[in-house]
Structure 1
Amino acid sequence: MKQPVAYLGPRGTFTYEAARSLFPEESYQHTPCDSIPDVLTAVDSKEFAYGVVPVENAIEGSVNMTLDWLVHHVDVQITGELVYPITQNLMTHREHADWSFDRFTRVISHPQAVAQCRSHLREILPEAKIAYADSTAEAARQVAGHPEEAWVTVGPRSAGELYGLSVLRSGIQDYANNFTRFIAVGEKWSHPIVAPEREKCSLLITLPSDFPGALHRVLASFARNGVNLSRIESRPTKKKLGTYHFFIDAEQGANQPGVAEASQEIKKWGCGVRQLGSYPCYSFDKISGNRSVDKGVTTPYNQR
């Protein structure tokens, strides 16, 4: 019996492709949810063993909804990570596949997908109006359902394949090095086909309010114990104006001596330390080289 995986849906989106890459369809059943809170709540309530949500995009930054729900609303562990390259595609109804760009009057997509291609769209479709949809898949459905309209959409190739669209141009994102980091949450697991590239852990640090230089001492402790930090970000505690949690990603597993010793030091100074997860990080290149993944599709939320 296939194990259940919840993901930020619908089908034909970047998160859908990430979920299929982390949890291959041969062994897992994928169920779309309407929002990030829905995914995390379903895993927290044990309705699903696993969930997949976006947490950070190289261009748009962190997905704050994911961070806030992990801290304030659910008690689930991060159990895996996958970084996906984003390839945005300009697509239209198959009847318009041979049209010149100046014939199109409207671009429909998710706001984040449009934002990631704004310069390119202004260059090739300067007169087209922008309209937003709830997801890249929904935008593709609208374009497919209105062959009488001169519309195009922006999104993953899988959305076009789902609704029978033609790709006018691929790779229209403004920045070539555009990636989204997805996390798996829920029960411990390991990828059934590929080995992880490395281990990592995510920590939530809460500083004592009356401790001058506390953040400096926190960072110095990790450095002193030989732990490289790949991400540091603050988010409001939602308790008092000017008070923050700090999300820290360490390039070691939580069971490594450096992370353990640094955490103990920080606790002694009165800081709160909460482990959000110690987990494997998987390589997109290795997964995409496997036959179970559609090599023509790349991926994330920011574009549901």
Structure 2
Amino acid sequence: MAINSENTVIGIIGGRGKMGKYFARLFQDAGYKVIVSDHKTPLSNEELVQKTNVIFISVPIAKTQEVIRNIAKHASKESVIVDLTSIKEMPVKEMLKSKAQVIGLHPMFGPTNPLQGQTIIAHPARGKTYYIWLKKFLEDRGANVLQMNPKEHDKIMGVVQGMVHFADVAFGHALKELKIPAKKYLQFASPASELKIAFVGRILSHDPKLYASIQQENPEAFKAMKQYARSIEKLLEIDEKKDQQAFKKYFESAGDALKTYKKTAKDDTNYLIHAILQRRQRAQEIQESKNTLKTGDIAVLGPENTFSDLAAKQIAQEGETVLYVASIHQAFEALEKGSVKQSVVPIENMLNGSVRETFDELFLRDVHIAAKVNQPILHALVALPGVKKSDINTIKSHPQAIQQCSAFLQKNYPHARRVPTTSTIQAYKTIAGENDRGGAAIIPLEVAKKLSCTILAKNIGDRKDNQTTFAIIQKGKASTLQISGPTETAITFAFSKNQPGSLNAVFQEFAKANINLSRIESRPSKKLFGEYVFFLDFEGSPTDAKAKRALTNIKKKVKTLKILGTYTKPH
């Protein structure tokens, strides 16, 4: 039997809940007819079962058994029942009392997450037809479907969900009993401690009923939680006795359980900790900027030795100082406040496309583009001195750099873990700081040549001609002075309202003037929902007679028109 949107009706019991709505939308977007039942819906659960051939159970764990028992006798052998609860033994056992095919499903993510890259645990308890269809449906949309039997699932979830959430809830309650306000705690917490309380806060911001069910309805969770309590008691006993030898033994024994994961855990949490440190630094900079204004000649995205920094060095004059900022927004803000004379910001990468934040700031700020420069994006893979290719098990860099070198990495380091960092140069600093002889970093080739490091490979990007165009931004309106050489002008405009043919009317003015357009970009307006701002580059200067006529006519057709700048066209 071929299962498709024409012969299949999806029914979701609990379809008004968050996860029920998630799966309803998933199938509706694929063209399937979806009907739902829930509290106070005209359709009862039993009626839904009789009208559908794919029945999802998306109700709280505490109600799952009762709901399945009530609908099981109404499900035909030509249908399938699928439960979405976070325990599996009980629901599968109850569903098997029906005549239908049975699938136990556990999405390992919340209803606010996209399906792409998510894990779903599945158990095809009876029948293959619907399971093959459902597995393919989910995998085609980017999900990773893992098969596991109910007993093993519940045992693992007892730890992964039950014990972990138990520890987080208890941690939050202990803070409350100790009367330590979160604000005070965070004021003195290390980044690692802040990370811990962040995860606790994340759990405690959700519905307590969900976590109560996870801990109380899974017998395996209760076993894991009792063991956790015994382990805490044992550690308390050791600490009360101030027995350092016993503590060392306990600590190392705990570490043995995570022996193969400790390196991965360190890499992943280092990334998160560095992000926390960066956020703290930005907050401090914002606070300081209210009191004292840091200055320089050129603002550029930091830290030093990134591709942004290399682009800035192309235009920096001897003796000019660089002010490193943490975001594109800060680069524009420093310019408007007079902290710097100009800012260097990325505008477009050959592979990754336009940098949206830059375009948003160009439209909103009193600034103009004074020049553009192209920065070659040449990557190198580097490691600590003496490290060989065969030593590498982890590769670190900014996510864009990892993506831009994906073909090289897949061919030469298929089994090495990819660990994202907040910048390319931060990747090497992390490796050097930890003396990580199993790690390699993707950094700018130009920078690699200056470091005391092992260059494992040069120019490893998937495109050897990859480059990023950077804009040199200055305060105020664009200059009308003549520029030597081939020129390009950037403009931005918006319409008073969306009308068919509006954009084409603008294009026609350039066509009539025989002016070549080199790019067109649109961005949603930050001021009006549903409205768009357009960015356009054309060859020539607005002072040219034909360009002047075209722009005069365009002004009559748009609400706003701003000349962003005229500059020598970058090579």
For normalisation by structure 1, the TM-score amounts to 0.83
Flag the 1:271–1:259 CA change in 2: closer, same or farther, 3 A. Answer: farther
State the secondary structure of the residue aligned to 1:66: helix
Kindly indicate which of the two structures has a greater share of residues assigned to helix: 2
Corresponding residue of 2:380: 89
Check if 1:14 corresponds to 2:307. Answer: yes
1:1-304 maps to which residues of 2 (within 5 A)?
A: 4-24=297-317, 26-72=318-364, 74-96=365-387, 99=388, 101-161=389-449, 163-186=451-474, 197-209=485-497, 211-283=499-571
Note the alpha carbon deviations across 1:77-123, whole angstroms, 9 max, x for none: 11000112211111111121xx1x33201011001111100111111
The higher radius of gyration belongs to 2
* Amino acid paired to 1:94: P
What's the RMSD between the two structures over aligned residues? 2.1
Note the alpha carbon deviations across 1:159-214, whole angstroms, 9 max, x for none: 435652221111110112311100001159xxxxxx96522111112123254301
Flag the 1:281–1:196 CA change in 2: closer, same or farther, 3 A. Answer: farther
Flag the 1:150–1:210 CA change in 2: closer, same or farther, 3 A. Answer: closer
Q: Does the 8 Å CA contact 2:542/2:551 hold for their aligned counterparts?
A: no
* Amino acid paired to 2:347: V
Q: Does the 8 Å CA contact 1:140/1:163 hold for their aligned counterparts?
A: no
Unaligned runs of 5+ in 1: 189-194, 284-304
How high is the sequence identity, in percent, across the aligned residues?
Answer: 30
Provide the C-alpha distance between the structure 1 equivalents of 2:326 and 2:527, rounded to a whole number of angstroms.
28
State the secondary structure of the residue aligned to 1:242: coil
State the secondary structure of the residue aligned to 1:238: coil
Please identify, of 30-39 and 268-277, the stretch whose mean Cα deviation from structure 2 is larger: 268-277
Q: Does the 8 Å CA contact 1:208/1:214 hold for their aligned counterparts?
A: no
Flag the 1:147–1:32 CA change in 2: closer, same or farther, 3 A. Answer: same
Flag the 1:269–1:87 CA change in 2: closer, same or farther, 3 A. Answer: same
Q: Does the 8 Å CA contact 2:489/2:565 hold for their aligned counterparts?
A: yes
Flag the 1:265–1:163 CA change in 2: closer, same or farther, 3 A. Answer: same
Provide the C-alpha distance between the structure 1 equivalents of 2:485 and 2:377, rounded to a whole number of angstroms.
20
What's the CA shift for 1:51?
Answer: 0.8
For normalisation by structure 2, the TM-score amounts to 0.45
Provide the C-alpha distance between the structure 1 equivalents of 2:560 and 2:499, rounded to a whole number of angstroms.
13
State the secondary structure of the residue aligned to 1:262: helix
Greater RCO (Cα-Cα under 8 Å, separation 6 or more): 1
Kindly indicate which of the two structures has a greater share of residues assigned to strand: 1
* Amino acid paired to 1:247: F
Flag the 1:239–1:39 CA change in 2: closer, same or farther, 3 A. Answer: closer
Q: Does the 8 Å CA contact 2:498/2:531 hold for their aligned counterparts?
A: no
State the secondary structure of the residue aligned to 1:126: coil
Q: Does the 8 Å CA contact 1:79/1:187 hold for their aligned counterparts?
A: no
State the secondary structure of the residue aligned to 2:542: coil
Provide the C-alpha distance between the structure 2 equivalents of 1:104 and 1:210, rounded to a whole number of angstroms.
55
